[in-house]
Every structure is written in C-alpha cells, then in structure tokens.
Amino acid sequence: MPTPKKPVTAVAAERLTEGLGAARKQLLQVEKEIVTEAKKQRKSLEQVLDRVRSRRDLKILEKRISATATDLQKRIQTMPREVLGALGVATSDDVAKLTKNLTRLTRRVDELSRKQTIA
C-alpha cells in the first residue's frame, strides 16, 4: 500500500523547521566565534592598558631619547674640530699651544741675545 502523501503545508512546515534548525546551528557557531574573538580583543586591550598604566613604554622611549640627545651633543661638540682638522685650519687649542711655544721660544731667543751682548 502506498504511503499516504503529506499535505503541502506539512511538508513546508518540515522544511521550514529543518531550515530553522540549520540556521540556529550556524547562529550558535557564529556566536561562539564572536565570543572567542571578543575575548582575544579584550585580552589584547587589557595588555595595552597595563602597558599604558605602567608607563613602561614611555620610560623606555625617554631613555632612548636621552641617549640619542647625549650622543648628538657629543657629535656636535667634536664636529667643528673635525671639520677644521680636515680643512687644515688650526683649532683654538692648536693656537693656544702655538702661542705657548712661541712665548717660550721668544724668551729663549731673548736669553740667547742677552748672553751674546754680554760676551
């Protein structure tokens, strides 16, 4: 005996129920993924907040800036001497040494000329 045919509304209701069940499963999966991603994002944000609150990154950056500034100051101070040296121009230290030597030599020449006039 053939199975009795179901009315169209019953078939439609079954398919609608199946579709709703599948949609519900997909929604649950999407909800799990959203919750998982939200937890990851929250953890990441908490780490960033901890770093901001501790000012650890700021302290590291301040140290780097200070070290760079000190290095630049040293380089700027030595640069004129290096440039003058490369150009063959005497620095103020060189001129001071030359003046000292010239003064010493002048005294020596004066001493020698006095000795000659006496002799």
Domains in the chain: boundaries: 7-54, 56-88, 89-119
Percent residues over pLDDT 70 in the chain: 96
Assess contact for 107 and 101: CB atoms under 8 A. no
Question: What CA–CA distance (Å, rounded) separates 92 from 98?
Answer: 10
pLDDT, tens only, 34-81: 999 999 999 999 988 887 778 777 888 889 999 999 998 888 888 877
Q: 3: pLDDT confidence band, cut at 50, 70 and 90?
A: low
Q: 18: pLDDT confidence band, cut at 50, 70 and 90?
A: confident
**Count of C-beta atoms within a 10 Å radius of residue 81:** 13
pLDDT of residue 105: 92
Question: What CA–CA distance (Å, rounded) separates 33 from 90?
Answer: 74
pLDDT of residue 62: 87
